[in-house]
Amino acid sequence: MTATVTEIWRHPIKSHGREKLEAVTIATGGTIPFDRLWAVAHERSQADGSEWVSCGHFCRVAKLPSLMAISAAFDEATGRITLRHPDVADITFEPDTDSAAFLDWVNALAPDDTLRPARLVKAQAQAFTDSDFPSVTLCNHASHRAVEQRVGKPLSHLRWRGNIWIDGLAPWEEFDWDGRDIRIGETILRVRERTDRCKSTHSNPDTGKRDANVLSALGSWGHQDFSVRAEVIQGGAIRTGDEVARV
């Protein structure tokens, strides 16, 4: 069976909304355009966007499960983002000039016993991916189905917050890609590491409520990893339906 791209996703604001795309063009050494370009620094964070910093500097789903239910639509022409969540009204704003309105909106989703959202920070060096290099996350539907079987119920694959979803592989086949080059459409990506997971995966993307012990399920295989992070070594276009193959 030929492996193909089924879905492409980006997350303009780290942990604050997902957006489905039909096609992207990725530059060599880059990420999916506008993926995790912004992040929300909490009240104890010193992050200012001048350099990459780890996820602990930011408000994220692992600490604020309700964020998982945010969906996003980013208008590249106007620079405006629309965010939607089932518990609050939609908001449309320009992140570079109108962050105050957004912070008011997202603070309504944050419980009182957590670090508060303080600043919307724009990446000036590299995007705020969880890797310390610009990366694209490749996810395997067959591996997701294996996790569903261990958990014992259907799970939305969106809880993994990956970039490119692939079908037609064996379960966990993507782990065999470490250090290998993968061609997707016009693009060649070099897989550099597996993606270690946290409690964010316990949250339901429809409700923002924790509803599954995904880490325990992963632990039954002796790890807590899902998906792989890859570096773009030859840029180009990727579209849904493109073939995925080792180079």
Residue 228 predicted with pLDDT over 90: yes
Extended beta strands in the chain, E state: 4-10, 19-21, 23-26, 38-42, 71-75, 80-85, 88-93, 117-122, 136-140, 164-167, 181-184, 187-196, 225-234, 236-239, 244-246
Q: How far apart are CA 226 and CA 103, in angstroms?
A: 31
- Residue 182 is predicted with a pLDDT of 98
pLDDT in tens, 156-215: 999 999 999 999 999 999 999 999 999 999 999 999 999 999 999 999 999 999 999 999
Residue 111's pLDDT band (cuts 50, 70, 90) = confident
Residue 16 predicted with pLDDT over 80: yes
pLDDT in tens, 76-104: 999 999 999 999 999 999 999 999 999 99
| pTM of the predicted protein model | 0.96
Residue 75 predicted with pLDDT over 90: yes
Q: What is the mean pLDDT of residues 103-112?
A: 92
**Percent of the chain beyond pLDDT 90?**
97
- Residue 109 is predicted with a pLDDT of 94
Alpha-carbon torsion 231, 234, 237, 243, what sign? negative
Residue 220's pLDDT band (cuts 50, 70, 90) = very high
Which residue has tokens 């957004």? 102
- Residue 113 is predicted with a pLDDT of 82
Superfamily of domain 4-30+131-246: PK beta-barrel domain-like (2.40.33.20)
Kind of pairing between the strands at 244-246 and 181-184 = antiparallel
Domain boundaries, the chain: 4-30+131-246, 38-122
- Residue 160 is predicted with a pLDDT of 98
Residue 142 predicted with pLDDT over 80: yes
Using CB atoms within 10 Å of the CB of residue 220, give its burial: 0 to 12 exposed, 13 to 18 middle, 19+ buried.
exposed
Enumerate helices (H) and strands (E) in the chain, giving the number of each: 3, 15
